[in-house]
Amino acid sequence: MLARVKTFFRRHLSRRQINFLHKLEAMYWSARFGFPARSMVVFGITGTKGKTTASHFLTSILEEAGYTVGMATTVDFQIGDEIRTNQANKSVLHPKYLQSLLKEMKEARCNVVVLEVTSHAIDQNRIWGIPIRFAGFTNLGHDHLDYHGTMEIYRDTKKKLFMGRHLRAMAANADDVVGKQFLEQSPAPRKVGFSTEGIEDVPGTTDMVYADKISANSTSATFTLINEEESERVQLQLPGRFNVENALLAASLALNLNLKLSTIAAGLQRLERVAGRLESIETKKGFTILIDYAHTPDSLEKLYSTLRPDVRGRMIGVLGCTGDRDKTKRPIMGALAARFCDLVYITDEEPYSEDPSAIIEEVARGVPRGRSLFKPSRDQLIKRQERPIFKKEEAADGEGVWWWKVPERRDAIERAIKQCRLDDVVLLTGMGAQEYKIVGTEKVPWSDRDVVMEILKAEKLVA
């Protein structure tokens, strides 16, 4: 019934009219639950990628500083010491459930809240009634064009978070073109820019935070955290340069609470993992399986390029694309997999109302183009002479040789695992820590991690 009502509204009302109805809903539920966010200090983090990890970094810092923290992300919810899995398949809940969650946080005596904020939530007024005091921006990349239409509209929707009247301070990535724009245009009294590239004199900034002497690999990252007054060496338990950027955003926001840099560094270092974000599973056979939520061209390229130099065996990619979403990125995803991975399995992900086989074909269309850029490193070839090298003439017809279309995701994962040898790495991307997928209008139980563990147990490969 509810689905039919939504379909009716979409057919007969404009986006603006529908969003006004969303606002009325948010106003009602905010009032119904007594505007719980007003009694807590709220941080909001937005951007195309890195929101969830940055939120976890910030939460870890705040806990290190002694705060009782509430958090809501794509992956999980936290109310003080209690952690719950987010099973809603939404980064930002419907106002009814979001306001209820905030009330629970208030009753648990949380004094700060960290919210992951999406462009959909901003556009649909889901965060109405939540006074966000501190806002952070990670980056802007190719995503959600099925909803927003253009990158300009997508950017301007994100920008609204940094124009709020309740805003005391904001932080943004000064290495990102859009981040610079937000720093210059936001009316916030304090504006902190952060950079891994040593950028100085960013217009509009009141403060800058830097990462220097960065060393990042597939298992960890170290850097020197610097602000205008002091510096601290930080050793992250999460891998990659992109996580240094996420850590910098968290640090930049935490500085608004006048925390010492040593406290911030300790908080960053204590975060061990984020479910579905480069989650590692080791095996008895000496190969590794990594599960990650990367589902945009930018995030996939950063993931592959970060890991590639440290993979001593073969890098095996298993990926697909979500249905009823931006179709233009699908061949790009296939091209990236072919460019960086030795072996590629294109498979089902979360089709929604689309034909899964049609999505697979669209992703696969980019594979030959990407393969022309495939370059195994010389060092890796010396270490492992068995690494397959493909001739250029094989790039267009390599299906069944180095890449495959596999309709069932479980089959693709199993085939990838059974192909593994010592030092190989399987990169399973797109779904992260999700516990179900949408097929048509049905929720089908699904967990990449559970499937991997089932296969490893059957093959007696659990480490």
Q: Give the three-class secondary structure for 437.
A: strand
* This prediction's pTM: 0.87
Q: What value, to the nearest 5°, has the Cα angle with vertex 287 and ends 234 and 317?
A: 85
Q: pLDDT tens digits for the chain (463 residues)?
A: 555 656 666 676 887 888 899 999 999 999 999 999 999 999 999 999 999 999 999 999 999 999 999 999 999 999 999 999 998 878 999 999 999 999 999 999 999 999 999 999 999 999 999 999 999 999 998 787 788 889 999 999 999 999 988 899 999 999 999 999 999 999 999 999 999 998 887 999 999 999 999 998 778 899 999 998 899 999 999 988 899 999 999 999 999 999 999 999 999 999 999 999 888 899 999 999 999 999 999 899 989 998 898 899 999 999 999 999 889 999 999 999 999 999 999 999 999 999 999 999 999 999 998 988 887 754 455 444 444 444 444 545 689 999 999 999 999 999 999 999 999 999 999 999 999 899 998 999 999 999 999 999 999 999 8
Does 1.10.10.10 match the CATH number of domain 279-458? Answer: no
Q: Which helix (H) or strand (E) holds 29?
A: helix 15-32
b/e code 125-164 from CB counts within 10 Å (16+ = b): bbbbbbbbbbbbbbbbbbbbbebbeeeeebbebbbebbeb
* Residue 240: alpha-carbon gap to chain centroid: 13
CA gap 111, 157 in Å, rounded: 28
Q: Are strands 343-347 and 403-406 parallel, antiparallel or unpaired?
A: parallel
CA gap 447, 289 in Å, rounded: 14
Q: Are strands 190-195 and 82-85 parallel, antiparallel or unpaired?
A: unpaired
Q: What value, to the nearest 5°, has the Cα angle with vertex 456 and ends 453 and 384?
A: 120
The position carrying tokens 């393969």 is 371
Left if phi > 0, otherwise alpha if psi is -120 to 50, otherwise beta: which for 204?
left
- The DSSP 8-state label assigned to residue 37 in this structure reads G
Q: Give CA torsion, residues 308, 311, 315, 320, to 10 deg.
A: -50
The answer to whether 256 and 134 have CB atoms below 8 angstroms apart is yes
**Domain extents for the chain?**
2-270, 279-458
What distances in angstroms separate CA 318 from CA 168, 177, 455, one per listed residue? 43, 31, 15
Each as own residue / partner, the long-range contacts of residues 229-232 (CB below 8 Å, 24 or more positions apart, any chain) are 229/261, 230/261, 231/261, 232/261, 232/262, 232/264, 232/265
What distances in angstroms separate CA 85 from CA 62, 228, 448, one per listed residue? 20, 38, 15
Q: Which fold has domain 2-270?
A: UDP-N-acetylmuramoyl-L-alanine:D-glutamate ligase (3.40.1190)
What distances in angstroms separate CA 225 from CA 201, 260, 265, 266, one per listed residue? 18, 12, 8, 11
Q: Which helix (H) or strand (E) holds 108?
A: none
What distances in angstroms separate CA 82 from CA 68, 105, 390, one per listed residue? 11, 10, 51
Report the Cα–Cα distance between both ends of the chain, in Å, rounded. Answer: 48
CA gap 76, 90 in Å, rounded: 11
Nearest one of 209, 303, 218, 279 to 247, comparing CA atoms = 209
H-type alpha helices, 271-408: 297-307, 330-340, 356-364, 367-371, 378-383
